[in-house]
Structure 1
Amino acid sequence: MTDSQPSKWRDRLPLIAVVAVAAIGAFALRDYLSFESLRDNREALLAFRDDNYALTALAFVLAYIAIVAFSLPGATPATLTGGFLFGLFPGALFNVVGATIGAVLIFLAVRTGLGRGLAEKIDASDGRVKRMTQAIRDNGASVLFSMRLVPVLPFFVANIIPALIGVRLSVFAATTFFGIIPGGIIYTWVGVGLGEVFARGETPNLGIIFEPHIIGPLLGLAALSFLPTILKSIRKEPKA
């Protein structure tokens, strides 16, 4: 075995851990990280929060980080739980911070395990894939910010793709944090009224973000984020 092989496996250990925990969690935790579980334990959670607010807040943020970092089921119920337990503020802040840190962790795990080698192969190649990848890198902030504003991709997919194509960590972290704020506020707000929803025996409306009066402004913000890229392409002079 060459010297580079042990190093390669060490680099992949975080990614292997993420995949292993995600696989186990998908089966072992799906009944616990659900709306039904929250509904059945809501009184106990509220009582614990009232007696241990700081500890509850810390435990919630750490749990949210773990859910995102290991791509565990239950991210949406967790977001609503933030509003249910802590209100719109600081619930939305806890949700956004937890999601951002978790996204950064899985981004680093993927980039360390696979991303660097794949990015080098893309750079050494020719053709459409390289051009598309380079275009995303050149306009990374606009593309990633739009991708976060309008959640057309699953959250874990949006965490992995930038790592595979060599997006800078600072750009990924900033666009994740600011890009998920609108959606985070909307779902946290839904969570604020979760107690009344449960009391009526109903389920929360998770499709609210795709209603016209909400998705419209988000699409407008996404389009606005592309404005610098469009202006740059217009002003760019053709090379000799």
Structure 2
Amino acid sequence: MNTQKILFLCALLGAFALAFTVLPPGTLSLDTIKTHQQTLLAQVERAPLQSALVYFGLYVVVSALSIPGAAILTLLGGALFSLWEGVLLVSFASTLGATFAMLASRYLLRDWVQRRFARQMHIINTGMARDGARYLFALRLMPLFPFFLVNLLMGLTRLSAIRYGWISQLAMLPATVLFLNAGRELGELTSLRDILSPGVLFAFTLLGLLPLVTRWLFSRYTTSFKK
């Protein structure tokens, strides 16, 4: 294992230790953030820049380590910050965390991922070979694979980290705005099901299918034109 991999592993272990220290079990729950909403709002008003940086760093760690609760953190961002501030913080933090998770899979967890998710990896490889980066865009919008699994499996593809990052950021933006906007009415929410209705999931699925359908139609059109 070279020096870069050792440093990356040390950073990952440090992030794990930090996460379990700062986020004990039960912290990232809807009831918990509703209970402490006013206290956190007061903190944001006293130190807005410091609060934004802490929130950003916490979101990166949660995303990178695939800790359950990113959706709850997004709701909290909507309650604590303005919509445009929340979009900037969550969009870049979630993208950075997802990219770190993908790189960890590529350089540290490759053998384990290949053994543990062989069937899913076959599906990913087939989709990437057929549709390229459009397939990643579709995966991010459609609930075919969980967020953490997309990060792990994409680490074993040849997609560059930069391309992976901006495509993920673009595809995750609609859900980011949806959850941030819902967080503005945090006190009224009783469950995440209040946000992710069947209609919303269907709309996201259609949006995810758009680039794949467009490619298919373009392929059919060019084939017919050549004939």
Measured against the shorter chain, the TM-score band is 0.7 to 0.9
Segments of 4+ moved more than 3 angstroms: 12-28, 114-119, 129-132, 204-207, 231-237
**Any residues of structure 2 matched to 1:36-51 within 5 Å, and which?**
36-51=31-46
**Any residues of structure 2 matched to 1:158-177 within 5 Å, and which?**
158-177=150-169
Give the TM-score normalised by the residue count of structure 2.
0.79
Does 1:225 pair with 2:219? no
How far is the alpha carbon of 1:36 from its aligned partner?
A: 2.7
The equivalent position to 2:29 in structure 1, one of 34, 58, 74, is 34
Does 1:76 pair with 2:78? no
The AA in structure 1 aligned to 2:211 is S
How far is the alpha carbon of 1:107 from its aligned partner?
A: 1.1
- Of 83-92 and 63-72, more deviation after overlay is shown by 83-92
Change (3 A) 1:13 1:210: farther
The equivalent position to 2:128 in structure 1, one of 127, 133, 136, is 136
| Equivalent residues of 1:22, 1:71 under 8 A apart | no
The AA in structure 2 aligned to 1:209 is L
Report the 3-state secondary structure (helix = DSSP H, G, I; strand = E; otherwise coil) of the residue aligned with 1:203. Answer: coil
Match of 2:58 in 1: 63
Q: Which runs of 5+ in 1 are unaligned?
A: 1-5, 120-128
- Of 228-237 and 183-192, more deviation after overlay is shown by 228-237
Does 1:186 pair with 2:172? no
Does 1:203 pair with 2:190? yes
How far is the alpha carbon of 1:45 from its aligned partner?
A: 0.5
Provide Cα deviations, 1:145-190, integer angstroms capped at 9, x if missing partner: 0111123322111111110233222321121100000111111111
How far is the alpha carbon of 1:233 from its aligned partner?
A: 4.8
Distance in structure 1 (CA, Å) of the matches to 2:223 and 2:5: 39
The AA in structure 2 aligned to 1:55 is Q
- Of 27-36 and 60-69, more deviation after overlay is shown by 27-36
Distance in structure 2 (CA, Å) of the matches to 1:78 and 1:72: 11
Identity %: 25
What is the total number of aligned residue pairs between the two structures?
216
Give the TM-score normalised by the residue count of structure 1.
0.75
How far is the alpha carbon of 1:101 from its aligned partner?
A: 0.6
The equivalent position to 2:142 in structure 1, one of 139, 142, 150, is 150
| Equivalent residues of 2:113, 2:153 under 8 A apart | no
| Equivalent residues of 2:16, 2:65 under 8 A apart | yes
| Equivalent residues of 1:29, 1:73 under 8 A apart | no
Report the 3-state secondary structure (helix = DSSP H, G, I; strand = E; otherwise coil) of the residue aligned with 2:100. Answer: helix
Distance in structure 1 (CA, Å) of the matches to 2:155 and 2:53: 28
Distance in structure 2 (CA, Å) of the matches to 1:223 and 1:90: 29
Distance in structure 2 (CA, Å) of the matches to 1:39 and 1:61: 19
Aligned-pair Cα RMSD in Å: 3.3
Distance in structure 2 (CA, Å) of the matches to 1:117 and 1:36: 35
Does 1:216 pair with 2:202? yes
Distance in structure 1 (CA, Å) of the matches to 2:129 and 2:101: 19
How far is the alpha carbon of 1:220 from its aligned partner?
A: 2.1
